[in-house]
Structure 1
């Protein structure tokens, strides 16, 4: 049995956590905040009408923006409350409840590989630590040859950047560019956030 993710442990401890998270982003959207920065970067990485996997999609803000840009998006998240919000707020993509540590979309009849994977919103640190390497391998398996991944998360969340680089290398994901923000600021040893753009070896 796969270890429960840190996110779902939070939900177990506080059953209102997912609803709070959904409402937080709905409130930001109503206020006119920019919630599409990650999507703009991913959109620039892929051809028109690309197939994109939003891994750990949450309530769908990134995948929803990519779908609006004309891409074919599948979003997967372990939290059914977040998937329900994605379906309500961002109709169009295929939103699915699923554990990234056991991700096998072919079992759901999805056999065409993806041009890109986006994993935003600190998804990796919210995974069970024992599953992080396996998740990266499963993301790799769902990419087309030469497919690309955009993965972002913050420092100080229990997943050292150096450990991520090791796990990515073991999953045959090769870095192309390391940034410290989704708006293209360079990554340095002092950066408190990492945006890794990688390709499938």
Structure 2
């Protein structure tokens, strides 16, 4: 069981979607992740939303002209995603052994995005396996973009993954760091409790 399932009991899809709908209704920006991804690869690119949850990022990217698929282990989150965008591909799978071909999806994604604290909420000890699986899903030259909290202020669980750890897992998976930001608006990272990292295969 991953830390997300321990935190939510695996039934939080409707609550999670409602929270973001409320933020959007208040006029808050809820599409920073998709906007950053759109600066990294052109429309028409294939995107894998890893730990897609309710599909917020992938749905927005699809509206911007991107093709792609979403994968998550939480059935309640995927149920919301499938209702919101039944035309997109949604796969229930564990990221640590995710194989696009086994799921009926062609590999060779241009970009994989892991938003929403995906890596800190994995089952402890599976981070390297997930980095490797996501690297294999990329085409040569493709990008892995992951944003996550590094301290208690930015996480719903005690922090357990450092940037050094994450970079090491990515390096083992054949990925090279190309950019690091403090926010999804691409503010420069100068330390702090949240980071968005871009690695290239």
TM-score normalised by length of structure 1: 0.91
Q: Which residue of 1 aligns with 2:85?
A: 90
Displacement after TM superposition at 1:43 (Å)? 0.8
Question: 2:112 is paired with a residue of what secondary structure?
Answer: strand
Cα distance in 2, alignment partners of residues 21 and 96 from structure 1: 18
- What number of residue pairs does the alignment pair up? 194
- Let me know the Cα RMSD of the aligned residues: 1.4
Alignment match of 1:10 (pick from 4, 7, 13): 7
Name segments (4+ residues, structure 1) moved above 3 Å. Answer: 15-19
Question: 1:108 is paired with a residue of what secondary structure?
Answer: coil
Alignment match of 2:181 (pick from 159, 174, 179): 179
User: For structure 2, which runs of at least 5 residues remain unmatched after alignment?
Assistant: 152-158
**1:24-44 Cα distance to aligned partner (Å, 9 max, x none):** 112223333211111011011
Cα distance in 2, alignment partners of residues 70 and 161 from structure 1: 32
User: How do 1:105-116 and structure 2 match up within 5 A?
Assistant: 105-116=100-111
TM-score normalised by length of structure 2: 0.91
Alignment match of 1:44 (pick from 29, 39, 42): 39
Matching of residue 122 in structure 1 with residue 102 in structure 2: no
Matching of residue 27 in structure 1 with residue 22 in structure 2: yes
Residues 179 and 194, structure 1, Cα contact 8 Å, conserved in 2: yes
Q: Which residue of 1 aligns with 2:52?
A: 57
Residues 113 and 144, structure 2, Cα contact 8 Å, conserved in 1: yes
Deviates more, 1:24-33 or 1:97-106: 24-33
